[in-house]
Chains A and B, each alone.
Chain A
Amino acid sequence: MADEALYEFLHSELVGYVTEKSAKENKKDDLSALEYMGFSSGYRIIERLTKERPRFNDELDTVKFICTDLWSTIYKKQIDNLRTNHQGVYVLHDCAFRFLSKLSSGRQYLESAPKYVAFTCGLIRGALANLGIKCLVTAEVQNMPGCKFHIQVQRS
């Protein structure tokens, strides 16, 4: 679909902007602005996505929603594997993450991979935050274009 291409270009521009900004501020590799933009987007979109939906049963139910409904509409497929220790840690494994698929699979691109997952880490964090689940989200890229998103729920 055409709008997919446009979104990818926009996402690339966001990555480029933050990379440049961090370099200028002598904070190389600081992707926090990118993560924040993802957070803001995720927070807001979940408000719309859950408008018609019945109340979630529990935390796992909420995380599953992210893995199925959210992921398939935005990232074109469901999460391939979801693991949890039932104590607030979830690992979402996407074997072919949308924003990494465009990068070549060579190991030299592994270095840039964090830039292409930062926005999504924020998106997940923002979506869960608005649903009442405060957490930390990090990403692990070992085999491109696969990616594992680690969610650590923070209980106060």
Chain B
Amino acid sequence: MSRQGARLDAKKVNSELFTLTYGTLVSQLLKDYENVDEVNKQLERMGYNIGIRLIEDFLARTGSGRCYDFKDTAEKIQAGFRIFLGVSPTISNWGPGGDEFSLIFESNPLTEFVELPDHCLNLKYCNILAGVLRGACEMVQMEVTSWFVQDQLKGDNVTELRVKFIKRLEDAIPAGED
């Protein structure tokens, strides 16, 4: 079949489809749950489910071994965003104990085209990301928690996701041992 008009840029289209699909998910959740906090929770939960599977893909793709320390973890998370979302957040604002840092996003494919209406000010639109981090880290024996400190959808210049190390999780006992 002969093609006319501009050739579609597959990378761009897929990124846009991802953005739109995520947007319809958020809309659906807002329809299903009256409480915005519930929506935030659901997004985090789904992110968790994605995170526990995404980490396998990440490890296979990068051949990464164990993280030496939390700074190493931060860099791997940064790499993960680059690989899967095509964005490069900067790492900054390290806490004094070295167990807390921020990821600063100047752009975010999840929020492209989004304009948050006034009645959704408590919505953590990108909360799925917090869940993804929690799930991914749990699979490599780390308990972390993350939360949004700044949000471009709410008028801030950047979106800032803060990540905190809680504790190391017990290694699973390998099969075969008692």
In their complex, do chains A and B touch, with some C-beta pair under 8 Å?
A: yes
Binding site for B on A (CB under 8 A): 1-7, 9-11, 13-14, 16-17, 21, 33, 36-37, 40-41, 44-45, 48-49, 52-54, 64, 68-69, 72-74
Residue B170, interface by CB 8 Å: no
Q: Which residue of B lies closest to A78 (CB)?
A: B1
**Contacts A/B (CB < 8 Å), 26 sampled:** A3-B18, A3-B84, A5-B54, A6-B50, A7-B21, A9-B50, A10-B18, A10-B21, A10-B25, A10-B50, A13-B25, A13-B50, A14-B25, A17-B42, A36-B28, A40-B24, A41-B20, A45-B13, A52-B6, A64-B1, A68-B1, A68-B3, A69-B3, A69-B8, A73-B14, A74-B13
Chain A contacts for B5, CB-based, 8 A: 52-54
Give the CA-CA distance A17 to B42 in the complex, in Å.
9
A37 contacts B14, C-beta separation under 8 Å: no
Give the CA-CA distance A72 to B13 in the complex, in Å.
11
The smallest C-beta distance from B76 to any residue of chain A, in angstroms, reads: 14
Give the CA-CA distance A37 to B6 in the complex, in Å.
27
* 3 closest Cβ pairs, A-B complex: A53-B5, A37-B24, A52-B6
A41 contacts B85, C-beta separation under 8 Å: no
Apart from the given pairs A36-B24, A72-B10, 12 other A-B contacts in the complex at a CB distance below 8 Å = A3-B85, A10-B21, A10-B50, A13-B46, A21-B32, A41-B21, A52-B5, A52-B6, A53-B5, A68-B1, A74-B14, A74-B17
Interface centre among A33, A36, A41 (most CB of B within 10 A): A41
A48 contacts B1, C-beta separation under 8 Å: no
A40 contacts B46, C-beta separation under 8 Å: no
Binding site for A on B (CB under 8 A): 1, 3-6, 8, 10-11, 13-18, 20-25, 27-28, 32, 42, 46, 49-50, 53-54, 57, 61, 83-86
Main secondary structure of the interface of B (DSSP, over half): helix
Point out the residue from B8, B84, B85 that lies within 8 Å of A73, measured CB to CB: B8
Give the CA-CA distance A52 to B8 in the complex, in Å.
10
Chain B contacts for A72, CB-based, 8 A: 10
